[in-house]
Amino acid sequence: MNTPAGRLRILVAMSGGVDSSVAAAMLVEAGHDVVGATMKTFCYSGEAAESRKTCCGLEGIRDARTVADRLGIPHYVFDVEDEFTRDVIDDFVAEYGRGRTPNPCVSCNSNTKFRDLMRRGRVLGCDGVASGHYARLDRGAGEPRLLRGRDSSKDQSYFLWGLPGALLDLLHFPLGDLTKSEVRSRARRLGLATADKPESQEICFVPTGDYRDLLAKRLLPTHPALLPGAIVDTDGRIVGRHNGYSGFTVGQRKGIGGGRSERYHVLEIRPEAREVVVGPRHLLEVGGVVVGGLNWLTEPPEPDRRLHVQVRYRSPALACTVAGSGGDGIELRFDEPARAVTPGQSSVFFDGDRVVGGGRIERVTDTPY
């Protein structure tokens, strides 16, 4: 576990899941003064019973408190609804309104989970913030380096590219060298109530499981993202109709109709025309990408620098070259064509295991149509 020498007072973000529970336990075992904190990120009034089971819902708060009691540490619930709505939910809705596909977990980690918790933690006399992310921090020499987690199947460094660099020295990721099975084994050995709790798969602020329900509540009925439009092929021929382009993302197959010899996928969303462009799978391959909204955890790369870039979670990192930079971000050229590169998703740059930085995909280049 990567922590500085000496006893520290550390605030642990406890969602009520097994990962954050074990992270807190490991810090207690290491001799630190640990404080548990759960974020209340949205209003629970009027929720259906099943919505209370989200990672930040009432059940999560209850489970986090049960674990904190077991570990003998104080536990607080922080109301961050205003900040979370501004930085995560509003951004999520706005991105879908633009025909893009956002990463709400990145927005949360970049702002609410670490920056806002650290601000509250200082009031409690805390020296740093910890979480149950599968990532590592190397403090061996000079400035801290954010690294991939040892377990490649659980590595979550992809979601952390937006962290302010100044925060890195205050963060702790106790699970970075563990596998998921090792984490559950530790939880069982310690008798933690969350040891066998299933992982949360839904977006915490979309308790119905369908993000379009949230969009319908937060966008005007006349918003273009919710209005009918045309599904067109790459020659502009209308091949179907849709009930709102916000229901589509690049690479998607469902919802675009059939009746053709080859399966079609969503290639592009054109919000100005309310069009969803579809075509055969091979047309998803692109040669490059422009990434904006950049955040660097090292010195920004110079043109012609070789990097690896991950364009979505669970996808392999792709070898690329920095082709240049300009007003709308940095342009990358892939060594091999990449598939289903989606505007709005995170593009994260790596040098080996080290996170160099990241940004949001603005547009693709070198398309085959």
pLDDT in tens, the chain (369 residues): 444 457 999 999 999 999 999 999 999 999 999 999 999 987 655 444 444 555 567 888 999 999 999 999 999 999 999 999 999 999 999 999 999 999 999 999 999 999 999 999 999 999 999 999 999 999 887 789 999 999 999 999 999 999 999 999 999 999 999 999 999 999 999 999 999 999 877 788 888 889 999 999 999 999 999 999 999 999 999 999 999 999 999 999 988 876 677 899 999 999 999 999 999 999 999 999 999 999 999 999 999 999 999 999 989 999 999 998 877 799 999 999 999 999 999 999 999 999 999 999 999 999 988
Determine the Cα–Cα distance for residues 56 and 35; give it in Å rounded to an integer.
Answer: 18
Q: Where is the domain boundary, 170, 189, 208?
A: 189
Verify whether residue 55 is a known catalytic residue: no
Q: Do the domain assignments include residue 194?
A: no
Q: Do the domain assignments include residue 211?
A: no
Total number of domains in the chain: 3
| CATH code assigned at 173 | 3.40.50.620
Same domain, 178 and 232: no
∠ CA 33-37-42, rounded to 5°: 170
Determine the Cα–Cα distance for residues 160 and 284; give it in Å rounded to an integer.
Answer: 27
Same domain, 167 and 293: no
CB 199 within 8 A of CB 60: no
Determine the Cα–Cα distance for residues 138 and 4; give it in Å rounded to an integer.
Answer: 10
Of 55, 56, 204, 320, catalytic: 204
Estimate the share of the chain in helix, then strand, then coil, as percent rounded to the nearest 5: 30, 30, 40
What's this model's pTM, rounded to 2 decimal places? 0.92
Q: Where is the domain boundary, 141, 167, 189?
A: 189
Same domain, 237 and 185: no
Of 56, 108, 126, 320, catalytic: 108
Same domain, 111 and 182: yes
| CATH code assigned at 254 | 2.30.30.280
Same domain, 239 and 141: no
Same domain, 155 and 173: yes
Q: Do the domain assignments include residue 203?
A: no
Same domain, 168 and 313: no
Determine the Cα–Cα distance for residues 334 and 138; give it in Å rounded to an integer.
Answer: 28
| CATH code assigned at 289 | 2.40.30.10
Verify whether residue 320 is a known catalytic residue: no
Same domain, 181 and 311: no
Range of the domain at 152: 9-189
